[in-house]
């Protein structure tokens, strides 16, 4: 049975991709960014998903109910932007940065309250658990009947070749859904981009998109040792002035990925080696848009149009939820829904009040 789901704050489609792979029927999504919305549409045309390309605060939930046509909403999923509470934005401060997007978690709550989905899923930065609004939302969800669990996990435990910690909250009106523990086998950079063709011969335009550097920067890249080297390995004359002071600057900038390890977190700066460890393990260049997307576990043919600025492509890839990670969460939710449905079939005289045959 295909269960109905909606994807709030969908970005370019990582969550939707994962839920579809877990067997869900995604009927609607919401995304305000025009570039991310365009990529979402291009990659999900065949699924007949209604994409609302507007501010979620202006969307009435009745529009979702109209799309459901009387069918139940089995899952409401989403990642409300809370950039103000990310570790990078806080720069080790205890309090969240002031960011108007932080309050969008209340829109997630509004959709849950008004649509009453059978299950819910929310993913976000680990620091969210200390955020006052999250605590209020969590308390409100419990009050209206949701059995909840949240946990901070590393996506590397779920088949994603990347070090990326995330808070996951799963909730249900049926029974508690535990966040899955993940797998023991860790996937590596080599597993996902090791067999890609050279950027010089590829016909994949996304694999041609990476920054070109000045001769001085290119020389610095060439001197960075293969397979995991960093800026600390460079001769003193290549050390940037901003890196000469103690405790200033990020250690991973201008670093190379390691073939047989997970990558560093793919961020919105993933196509700029000055923003993190985003140099190719061997070749003297930054990773390409295709390589970044693969390290996020997007499928090989996920389409990113050539006319979208490279900075926007990097941002949407870095902000995306890894599809493989979302699939893992979706599968445990689906299992819980299957169990409830089976209970209805077996105990026909006392069917569930939540899932009706």
Give yes or no for a contact between 207 and 285, defined as CB atoms under 8 angstroms apart: no
Give yes or no for a contact between 131 and 99, defined as CB atoms under 8 angstroms apart: no
Give the CA angle between residues 94, 275, 222 to the nearest 5°. Answer: 145
326 is catalytic: no
Cα-based distances in Å from 134 to 31, 201, 356? 21, 48, 31
Which residues does 192 contact at the CB level (< 8 Å), separation at least 6? 161, 294, 295, 297
Nearest Cα neighbor of 193 from 260, 253, 277, 273 is 260
Helices 105-115 and 132-143 pack at an angle, to 10 degrees, of 10
Consecutive H or E run containing 147: strand 147-154
What is the per-residue DSSP string for 101-141?
Answer: GGGGHHHHHHHHHHH--SEEEEEE-GGGGG-HHHHHHHHHH
Give yes or no for a contact between 163 and 186, defined as CB atoms under 8 angstroms apart: no
For 344, half-sphere exposure in the C-beta direction (CA atoms, 13 angstrom radius) is 14
Give yes or no for a contact between 252 and 297, defined as CB atoms under 8 angstroms apart: no
Which residues does 346 contact at the CB level (< 8 Å), separation at least 6? none
Helices (H), the chain: 14-21, 34-43, 62-68, 87-90, 105-115, 132-143, 189-193, 215-223, 289-295, 310-319, 323-346
Give yes or no for a contact between 111 and 91, defined as CB atoms under 8 angstroms apart: no
Q: Helix, strand, coil % (nearest 5) of the chain?
A: 40, 15, 45
Q: Which of 79, 82, 270, 326 is catalytic?
A: 82
Residues serving a catalytic function are 82
């Amino acid at each position: 049975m295909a269960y109905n789901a909606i994807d709030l704050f969908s970005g370019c489609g990582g969550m939707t991709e994962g839920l579809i792979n877990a067997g869900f029927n995604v009927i609607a999504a919401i995304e305000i960014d025009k570039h991310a919305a365009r990529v979402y549409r291009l990659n999900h045309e065949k699924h007949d998903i209604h994409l609302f390309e507007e501010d979620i605060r202006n969307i009435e939930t009745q529009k979702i109910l109209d799309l459901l046509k009387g069918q139940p909403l089995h899952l409401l999923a989403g990642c409300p932007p809370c950039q103000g509470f990310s570790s990078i934005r806080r720069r080790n401060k205890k309090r969240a940065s002031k960011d108007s997007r932080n309050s969008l978690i209340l829109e997630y709550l509004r959709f849950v309250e008004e649509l009453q989905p059978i299950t819910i899923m929310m993913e976000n930065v680990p620091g969210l658990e200390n955020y006052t609004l999250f605590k209020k939302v969590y308390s409100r969800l419990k009050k209206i009947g949701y059995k909840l669990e949240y946990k901070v996990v590393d996506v590397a435990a779920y088949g994603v070749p990347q070090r990326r910690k995330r808070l996951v909250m799963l909730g249900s009106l049926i029974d508690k859904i535990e966040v899955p523990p993940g797998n023991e086998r860790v996937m590596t950079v080599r597993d996902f981009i090791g067999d890609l063709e050279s950027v010089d011969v590829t016909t994949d335009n996304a694999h041609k998109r990476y920054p070109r550097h000045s001769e001085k920067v290119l020389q610095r890249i060439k001197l960075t040792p293969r397979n995991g080297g960093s800026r600390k390995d460079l001769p003193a004359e290549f050390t940037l002035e901003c890196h000469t002071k103690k405790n200033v600057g990020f250690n991973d900038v201008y670093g190379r990925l390691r073939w047989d390890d997970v990558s560093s977190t793919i961020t919105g700066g993933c196509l700029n080696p000055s923003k993190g460890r985003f140099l190719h393990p061997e070749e003297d260049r930054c990773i390409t848009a295709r390589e970044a997307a693969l390290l996020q576990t997007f499928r090989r043919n996920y389409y990113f149009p050539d006319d979208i600025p490279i900075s926007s492509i990097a941002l949407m890839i870095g902000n995306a939820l890894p599809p493989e990670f979302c699939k893992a969460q979706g599968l445990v939710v689906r299992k819980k829904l299957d169990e409830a449905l089976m209970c209805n079939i077996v105990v026909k005289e006392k069917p569930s009040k939540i899932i009706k045959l």
